[in-house]
Amino acid sequence: MVDALRAYGWIITMWVRSTMAYRASFLMLTFGQFFGTGLDFVTIFIMFVHTDELGGFTLPEVGFIYATSGVAIGMADLLLGSIERIGQRIRDGSVDVMLVRPVSAFVQAAADRFALRRLGRILQSTAVLVWSLTVLDIHWTWDRVLLVPIMLICGTVIFCSVFVLGAAFQFAASDAAQVANAFTYGGNFLTQYPPTIFAKDLIKAATFAIPLAFVNWMPALHILDRADPLGLPKAFQFASPIAAAAITLVAGLAWRAGIRSYRSTGS
Amino acid sequence: MTTTQPHPKTSPLIELSGIAKTFVVRRRVGRLRRTRAEVHAVSDLSFTVSRGEMVGYIGPNGAGKSTTIKMLTGILVPSAGLLRVAGIEPSRERIQLARRIGVVFGQRTTLWWDLPLRDSFGLLRRIYKIPPARYRENLDRFVDLLDLGPLLDVPVRQLSLGQRMRGDITAALLHDPEVLYLDEPTIGLDIVSKARVREFLREVNAGQGTTVLLTTHDLTDIEQLCSRVMVIDHGRLMYDGDLDGLHSLGDSERTLVVDLAEPLPAIEVDGGRVVRVDGPRQWLAFPAAASAAPLVAAIADRYPLADLSIQEPAIEAVIARMYAEGVAS
Ligand SMILES: Nc1ncnc2c1ncn2[C@@H]1O[C@H](COP(=O)(O)OP(=O)(O)OP(=O)(O)O)[C@@H](O)[C@H]1O
Ligand SMILES: [Mg+2]
């Protein structure tokens, strides 16, 4: 575990160093991320021009919900967003290379092409979060104070797991196409490859449906002291650590199954 | 390294017994239907390799060479059989094994595409936990032997094939592996690069006692490097022995070229048969396993012999015949 973390550290350090060789372009890309993702919030802002409330929530409240999930997604994306590239690597057989190194393939896939510019999104969401916290008139109790970092950490873990699930799914999805490919000795596999697209949709659906409820919505209701419109049990508002642990377990198992099913390519 | 091992000779470094690998593939039939089919990439493969050996592993396309190497490195899990490398079951303890082996895939780089060689090597140093002094020593030696100096700061993607291969070979050896697998290390290289790579491999094998298993389609690699050769076809081991044995197995013939003092009709002699006549020069085929001396004596006895030479059978021809027979069977 310690070894794995250290290896992760070395790999990302190397990628950061190599991006820093082109500092200007790094800064531009980071700002690009900052403003690019910031546009989302501008859209929300514009919706509030003619109304004070949207679905019963004020702009700072929406900002709080938006920002907490934004930070979580941003963190997950920064830490192991590159793992989705595994699909390409499975299809061209370059996972082979990861498997002959004395570091777990997971660490290598997660750290692959670590992109510090993804900080842009985290910074932007953090800015909105700070703004919303200063404007909102929250009745701060201990549990509410604690719930904010818990929400962010669990959110990050949950989104990480979702990315890993998507990556693990690619092992299964590329199986059919890859085998066909190996069999036809490098035939045009691109045309036979709808599963990738399918995988992307699945990831998107999962990204927004499952985790948002726990990451964000449920604990936010408690912090903002709002009644749950769906009337779910109050306990759900504190359940994000359990949800995070559960989905991490599932993702871990899926990844292991994926690696074990890896069969390389015929050339 | 050889000396630090408790049982250098008693147990082989690489041990396969009854190894098989079957891929289940889905074949398309018609527009939508698919059927499952099994590809037996490797069947019932058994061999051992001792420490310090340099073994050539050859066979036609699709024979199962790469599949074997992938099982030996732990990339693929065998479908059946027993496999041990340095006492380790590769697919179960892949990470432990990885520290002790080096792998070069001729077809694909193990380096980081966007990084200069120097950075790739530096990262490998950390990943493999190579002591800094040892790393410097190895790197200096490989840079010198493989002439990598001017390439160290070039991103891998800008290297030519031959340059990249030299980088890959260095990367595979920086951590002093006990065994080095090379899957087509000379593919696509020019004559000079090939010679340099061979020279280097010989040096690594002889100097450090690194065990080497290499696949190739260039039989010169085998002739110049390997005392032992294994031939695989359709996933089965067809031959395991030295090069000379392969010659005799191929049931091949050597050629005696004789220059007579004058043009004469075809020589008639026991133990040889004339295959070609060109003026005073005649070509006689005789079994590769037989000695040329009695044949030469018999000819010199009855014909005005001016000069002679012997041509060894081309290994290519021997192998080609083996492959062809393999396909037919
Ligand atoms: N990932 C895979 N999926 C399905 N079939 C495969 C796969 N890898 C290899 N095969 C099949 O297994 C057989 C052996 O392939 P392998 O790559 O080991 O051959 P090889 O001896 O390395 O050939 P070459 O000289 O062309 O590199 C081939 O029939 C190939 O189609
Ligand atoms: Mg091959």
Please report the DSSP string for B2-38 in residue order: GGG-S-TTTS-SEEEEEEEEEEEEEEEETTTEEEEEE
Predicted pLDDT of residue A209: 59
Q: How far is the CA of B41 from the centre of ligand 1 (A)?
A: 6
Kindly report, residue by residue over B224-247, the tens digit of the pLDDT: 899 899 999 889 998 899 887 777
Residue A104: phi and psi, rounded to 5, are: -60, 145
Predicted pLDDT of residue B253: 77
Q: At A202, is the pLDDT very low, low, confident or very high (cuts 50, 70, 90)?
A: low
Question: Count of CB atoms within 10 A of residue A197's CB?
Answer: 10
Strand partners, B229: B56, B241
Predicted pLDDT of residue A195: 38
Contacts of B228 (CB under 8 A, 6+ apart): B53, B54, B55, B56, B240, B241, B242
Kindly report, residue by residue over B87-136, the tens digit of the pLDDT: 999 989 999 999 999 999 988 899 988 889 999 999 999 999 999 999 99
Amino acid at residue number B117: L
Burial of B236 (0-12, 13-18, 19+ CB in 10 A): middle
- CB contact burial A118-137 (16+ within 10 A = b; e otherwise): bbbbbbbbbebbeebbeeee
Residues 168-207 of A with CB under 8 A from B: 176, 179-180, 182-183
The domain segmentation of chain A, as residue ranges, is 2-261
pTM for this predicted structure = 0.80
Strand (E) or helix (H) holding B43: strand B33-49
d(CA A50, CA B311): 96
Higher pLDDT, B45 or A36: B45
Please list the alpha-helical segments (H only) found in chain B.
65-73, 94-98, 117-127, 132-146, 161-173, 191-208, 219-225, 243-249, 293-302, 315-328
Residues of B in contact with A18 (CB under 8 A): 114-115, 119
Residue A231: phi and psi, rounded to 5, are: 65, 30
Both tokens of A190, joined, read 């691109």
Mean pLDDT score of chain B: 87
Kindly report, residue by residue over B160-198, the tens digit of the pLDDT: 988 999 999 999 999 999 999 999 999 888 898 899 999
Contacts of B146 (CB under 8 A, 6+ apart): B166, B169, B170, B196, B200
Residue B165: closest CA among B144, B140, B183, B141:
B183
Query: Do B257 and B299 meet the contact criterion of CB atoms below 8 Å apart?
Result: no
Kindly report, residue by residue over B241-278, the tens digit of the pLDDT: 988 777 766 667 788 999 999 998 998 988 888 888 89
A10 inside 8 A of chain B by CB:
yes
Q: At B139, is the pLDDT very low, low, confident or very high (cuts 50, 70, 90)?
A: very high
Question: Which residues sit with their C-beta closer than 6 Å to ligand 1?
Answer: A 179, 182, 263-266; B 23, 25, 39, 41, 59, 61-67
Question: Count of CB atoms within 10 A of residue A84's CB?
Answer: 18
Predicted pLDDT of residue B176: 93
Mutate to test the interface with B, among A12, A100, A263 (most CBs of B within 10 A): A100
Contact at CB, A101 and B127, closer than 8 angstroms? yes
Average pLDDT, stretch A52-74? 85
d(CA B219, CA B225): 10
- The yes-or-no verdict on residue B81 having pLDDT over 90 is yes
